[in-house]
Amino acid sequence: MKFWEENRVIVTGGAGFLGRSVVAELRRKGCKNIFIPRREDFDLRKLSAIKRLFKEFPPKMIIHLAATVGGIGINKDYPGKFFYDNLIMGIQLMEEARLKRVGKFVAIGTICAYPKFTKVPFQEDDLWKGYPEETNAPYGLAKKILLVQSQAYREQYGFNSIYLLPVNLYGPGDNFDEYASHVVPAVIKKCCDAIVLGKHYITVWGTGYPTREFLYVDDAAHGIVLAAEKYNKSDPVNIGAGFEISIKSLVDLIVKMTGFKGQVVWDTSKPDGQPRRCLDVIRAKKEFGFEAKTKLEDGLRRTITWYKKNKRY
């Protein structure tokens, strides 16, 4: 409690899906001095905005969650934007943090940084063994450059920065926009909306054969805050649940849990994305005691319930 009571933390992206859970976890830990820069006030792509941010709220720690993110479709349509926004935000923010002698920088990477054909489960040492899956490579590479910067700054300047790799997240408050969302909220929305609107089928991208790993957002927040408090090394760390499920099995589960009785149509003209995803989570447990607690069915149930209460047509 003392560690967090005496800390001053900037949480970029703190008003977003993951950010809200991280801020809530920080407050549970006793952190009272948290600043959440809003995009309309602080455009982190602009160096002047970052300088003004540090002047208005000099931090002891930065947890950098802000990112331009989305599912396969929006990644495929806007690769340049996804590359530039994520790269420029992270690089400038970390450099200014170093110049201002911020005590710790927590950089959040992505599972999209891993090579397309990575041996399962993904181990952190596999990060540089190939090129990422093409549909999200610009995003994944922009985020992976922050690992290079983090390690280089620690080596040359002694700057305390860490790099975490969360797997696919889901939970209440996720982005349910059909175009920009990831698979869990997209399928939940399709099923729930089809029931209400009387539709007899839903369409899902791809073949259903690829596998994914999913981490409940509150578990991810817990892991990030644990690492922010206890981890101080250059080595990247996976933050995940340590299991994989096929997209087809996931869709079948969501269909059952939402009560949708219609047909699932697979649009095989759309890309599958990376063939398999599952993280090795041993390092996180060893280094700072993180283990995911929420079972997939429980997390999906909470997410479905949230959507039904908050959906808009």
Residue 254 in tokens: 């969501």
The sign one gets for the Cα dihedral 166, 232, 123, 291 is negative
H/E element holding 170? strand 168-170
User: By the 8 A CB rule, do 52 and 100 touch?
Assistant: no
Q: Is 56 exposed, middle or buried (0-12, 13-18, 19+ CB in 10 A)?
A: exposed
Distances (CA, A) of 307 to 137, 177, 180: 30, 12, 16
Residues in the chain: 313
DSSP-H helix ranges across the chain? 2-5, 17-28, 47-56, 72-77, 79-99, 137-157, 183-197, 217-230, 247-258, 282-288, 296-310
139 in active site: yes
What is the Cα–Cα distance from 93 to 91, expressed in whole angstroms?
6
What is the Cα–Cα distance from 252 to 258, expressed in whole angstroms?
10
Tell me which of 114, 139, 163, 216 is the catalytic residue. 139
DSSP 126: G
- Residues acting as catalytic residues: 139
